[in-house]
Structure 1
Amino acid sequence: MQGGHYFLLLFVGPLVSVSIACSTEHANQTTFDVSDYGAVSGGHIDDSEAFLKAWNAACASETENPTLIVPPKRFLLNPIVFSGPCRAKNINFLIFGRLLAPDSPGAWKELDPSQWLAFNGVSGLNIAGPGRINGRGKAWWDQSCRDHPRLVGCSTLAPTAVKLVSCKNSSISEIHFVNSSQTHVLIRDCDGINIENVLIEAPERSPNTDGIHISASHNVVITNAIIGTGDDCVSIGDHTSNIAISYVKCGPGHGISIGSLGRSGNFVQVENIHVSKVYLQGTTNGARIKTWQVGRGYVRRVTFEHIFFRSVKNPIIIDQNYCNKSDACKEMETGVHITDVSFNQLYGTSSSRVAVNLNCSRSVACTSIYLKSIYLRSALAGQNVTSNCTNAHGVAFGVIQPDPCL
């Protein structure tokens, strides 16, 4: 990606635990350089044990704000989990260098294949750059079941680069994420997370490489991000609330997505989602909500506003009949109720004929949908765009183009 300021930040994947006994030897120390704990630069020798030793010492420190330092060098890390709680109210993970994932899926043998780097149960964690986290995901992409369904032993699951699990009042800033095997940053079961000034990039064809995925978390702020991947730039999962996303450049990718939700027939609770000042270029979707018919529960109080689309395939889309195989899922009487959703001041161009598509359930219709101040044109010269509304109810005003169907 080019142009602008790129900032970076760090978070880790699922739980691959290594326990190291806490020590009081460094109780009054304030900084903990991984090199002092045996980390060897160059990116050819596994430094995960040295990183864990440095983390253990920093986490056990009695100082107010201990800082773990990754110097400006290359470090190879096998799957690892940094566990809390820590003694200090705040703990800093400062990355100046580059963290490299193993380049072979074999490094995950007998380990959790869903994660590479994980932070678990930490409060007051501040991960900051300027550093780079490189997931080196190509070997995983080459054995992806999505792209290679006939490959014997193909993978349906691949490691998330950075995962925050059960963390509170924490942040990620000024980190460059590149080429994760699957999702780049995962926030799960967290409360009070700020992500800002990050650059996330992976090839457009890389499978399931979401930029940031939020699940079962609350009070999350994402701002000043540039994200271009093979899947959603930002995706929001079940049991999330109070999410604010702003000043994001997205593309390539699948847009800003709420969902998919309710796939297992669970009760969905998603509310108070605010997405604003987003620029989407060449994405397959823009502002999207997608739910499975088998789901129950609700999505409510959602706002998409001040968004610009440039050649986006589905600029505005709600799909309550989401299915992993097109038109292959039977109509059901269940569904997730989508209500109080506002699309306000959305402009730009659509690469498909249907620029506004509200495909809602016959049994659990969408209600209180608001289309305000919208002007969408075709990205193709001489063509017009249209709207499609099915079982969607609400109000449209100030919609210049396409003709509103509400």
Structure 2
Amino acid sequence: MVSLTSSLDLASCFRFLLFSSLLSVVFAHEDHGEHGQPEHGGHGKHPGRKHCTVKHNRDGSDDSPNILAAFAECATNSLITFSRANYSAFTPVALTGLDDVIIHLDGNLLLPSSIPQVQHAINITKNQPSTYATPWFYFHGSNVQLIAADDFAWGRFIGFGEHWWDLRQQTLRPQLATFNITTGLMRNIKVIKPIAWGWNLPGTNIRVENHFVDAQPSNASRWETISFPFNTSVWCQASISLGKTSPSTGAIIVVAQRAYAPTYGCMHLRYFGHNGDDCISLINGADGVVAKNGFCGFSSHGLSVGSLGKNGAFQTVQNILFKNWTMDGAVYGARFKSWTGGNGFANNVTWEDIHLINVSTAIYITQNYFDQELGPPKTSGGPINSTHVSNFTYRNFTGSLNANWTDGTCITQPCWNFVPGIDGTQSIIFDLYPDTAVNISVGRVHVHPYQLPYSATNVICNATTLAPGEQDTLGFNCTRGPYVQTKTR
């Protein structure tokens, strides 16, 4: 078996995720023969389905043609099984036209370990690009279940990304996978050392359970730019509307702890990950997302909405719930980001029961984001468009802040997340565009700075940017100074 990083503590965490799951799937690992001899029923659990087992070459050569052949043969009303083996997925694959398909990933899928080989393959692939990059694996269809092995050593997507991080190589990086599915399930997926972006979910009505990400370098801390895992984020752009055309960009989600609810676009439950960008990012088109019961470690950039409105685009996110998360070593706990000059809106977003361990800033909003390397956009002095914000709720934030307010992504001066006055004691930073943020409510932020009492917690907020009447409903005193909770009317 390929030597992989899978420490005892990470494996224990994944076993805990499985133990806490309300829904578990038990399935056999026996070999049912190679592709070309599809079986009906089979696997002991799915009678009446055509069954294809993906052939494994066993000699380390490219298994991608075998993957494509099995998915072509069993694209409808079928069960597709990857045996307990390390499959060499050395060529990007588009697995399209799927309808009512169950995929059992009992083995592992390995990208090439060679950087030039990956770059060449991604440069010529015809896989549909996502927001930031082109995916190595592209799934498209309806009623698709991707179920990985319970065993922590199997059901892995392995990117060999640490070599890329060591060299700070950012040319022709692939996104790991897109799951563009209408009514889908992902369960027990383990992402090990992705090169950059992880899973993108631009479909509708998707549930993700027990999702694990290991994008933590073995030779660096969160403050070092050496071997930093840039852009190893997870995104979601799913919609609740079955009849709506799904956007071509998206995100990943870890589903909520409840029975499948088709009224939600995406649901995340039981996520455990270490990464170097947004833990979960909800981008344009996300509507009806529930993300519950997760842990984000190493140097996450938070439970994020955005960015929205780049280059003046009209973009929207609405009806979002983040609940019951632990953020360990993150730059932000909860974050919203929209670009200066953007359009559109973000509405009805709740962050609730968020526990912080050495997090730089608990709650952060900016409607004035710009590229630090290019500087603020030039204006004629007149009004600037801004993505509108409404009905944001922050409730029950607990824990501690970190004295260092940035991380290893800080490669410019000033740093991309610099805010005048920031000193590591701020639990809340609001950088609002005047009169465009309404019905923001902050309730119970019980967070203390590093080695300081709770009373030392500060905020950065400009009261002149609040819409009329907003101070009465905000829940804290909007000022540049101590955090003071206020009664709401």
- In the alignment, which residue of structure 1 is the partner of 2:414? none
- In the alignment, which residue of structure 2 is the partner of 1:402? 483
Aligned partners of 2:53 and 2:80 also within 8 Å: yes
TM-score when normalising by structure 2: 0.70
Q: Does 1:353 align with 2:425?
A: yes
Q: Distance in 1 between matches of 2:188 and 2:209?
A: 7
Aligned partners of 1:216 and 1:238 also within 8 Å: no
- In the alignment, which residue of structure 1 is the partner of 2:285? 239
Q: Does 1:49 align with 2:69?
A: no
Q: How many angstroms does 1:97 deviate by?
A: 1.1
Q: Determine helix, strand or coil for the equivalent of 1:49.
A: helix
**One-letter amino acid of the counterpart of residue 79, structure 1:** T
Alignment of 1:277-292 (within 5 A): 277-292=324-339
Q: Determine helix, strand or coil for the equivalent of 1:320.
A: strand
Q: Distance in 1 between matches of 2:428 and 2:205?
A: 33
- In the alignment, which residue of structure 1 is the partner of 2:177? 162
Could you tell me which runs of 5 or more consecutive residues in structure 2 were left unpaired when the two chains were aligned.
1-8, 19-35, 41-47, 126-132, 150-154, 217-221, 223-227, 241-264, 403-423
Aligned partners of 2:108 and 2:156 also within 8 Å: yes
Closer/same/farther in 2, CA of residues 360 and 228 from structure 1, 3 Å limit: same
Q: Could you tell which deviates more after superposition, 390-399 or 343-352? A: 390-399
Alignment of 1:102-251 (within 5 A): 102-107=112-117, 108-109=119-120, 110-112=123-125, 114-120=134-140, 122-130=141-149, 131-142=155-166, 144=168, 155=171, 157-165=172-180, 167-188=181-202, 190-203=203-216, 205-210=228-233, 212-215=234-237, 217-218=239-240, 219-251=265-297
Aligned partners of 1:350 and 1:385 also within 8 Å: no
- In the alignment, which residue of structure 2 is the partner of 1:17? none
**One-letter amino acid of the counterpart of residue 165, structure 2:** W
> What do the CA deviations read for 1:173-231 (whole angstroms, capped 9, x no partner)?
0111111111111112x101111111111025211010x21136441101111011111
How many pairs are equivalent? Answer: 367
**One-letter amino acid of the counterpart of residue 368, structure 1:** N
Q: How many angstroms does 1:26 deviate by?
A: 7.2
> What do the CA deviations read for 1:295-329 (whole angstroms, capped 9, x no partner)?
10110111111111111101111011112318921
Aligned partners of 1:78 and 1:101 also within 8 Å: yes
Q: Distance in 1 between matches of 2:311 and 2:91?
A: 29
Q: Determine helix, strand or coil for the equivalent of 1:264.
A: helix
- In the alignment, which residue of structure 2 is the partner of 1:68? 80
> What do the CA deviations read for 1:87-134 (whole angstroms, capped 9, x no partner)?
x5x2111111111001123334242462211112x1111111121110
**One-letter amino acid of the counterpart of residue 241, structure 1:** D
Q: Distance in 1 between matches of 2:280 and 2:447?
A: 22
User: Whose relative contact order is higher, 1 or 2, with alpha carbons under 8 Å and at least 6 apart?
Assistant: 1
Q: How many angstroms does 1:403 deviate by?
A: 1.5
Identity of aligned residues (%): 20
Aligned partners of 2:143 and 2:183 also within 8 Å: yes
Aligned partners of 1:387 and 1:404 also within 8 Å: no
* RMSD over aligned Cα atoms: 2.6
Aligned partners of 1:261 and 1:292 also within 8 Å: yes
Q: Distance in 1 between matches of 2:335 and 2:458?
A: 17
Q: Which has the higher helix share?
A: 2
Alignment of 1:362-401 (within 5 A): 362=434, 364-381=435-452, 384-390=456-462, 391-392=465-466, 393-394=470-471, 395-397=473-475
Q: Distance in 1 between matches of 2:134 and 2:115?
A: 11
Q: Does 1:97 align with 2:120?
A: no
Aligned partners of 1:271 and 1:300 also within 8 Å: yes
Aligned partners of 2:294 and 2:324 also within 8 Å: yes
Q: Distance in 2 between matches of 1:340 and 1:327?
A: 32
**One-letter amino acid of the counterpart of residue 246, structure 1:** K
> What do the CA deviations read for 1:230-253 (whole angstroms, capped 9, x no partner)?
111101111211011100101121
> What do the CA deviations read for 1:333-358 (whole angstroms, capped 9, x no partner)?
11100111000111111222111111
Aligned partners of 2:146 and 2:186 also within 8 Å: yes
Aligned partners of 1:187 and 1:217 also within 8 Å: no
Could you tell me which runs of 5 or more consecutive residues in structure 1 were left unpaired when the two chains were aligned.
9-22, 146-153
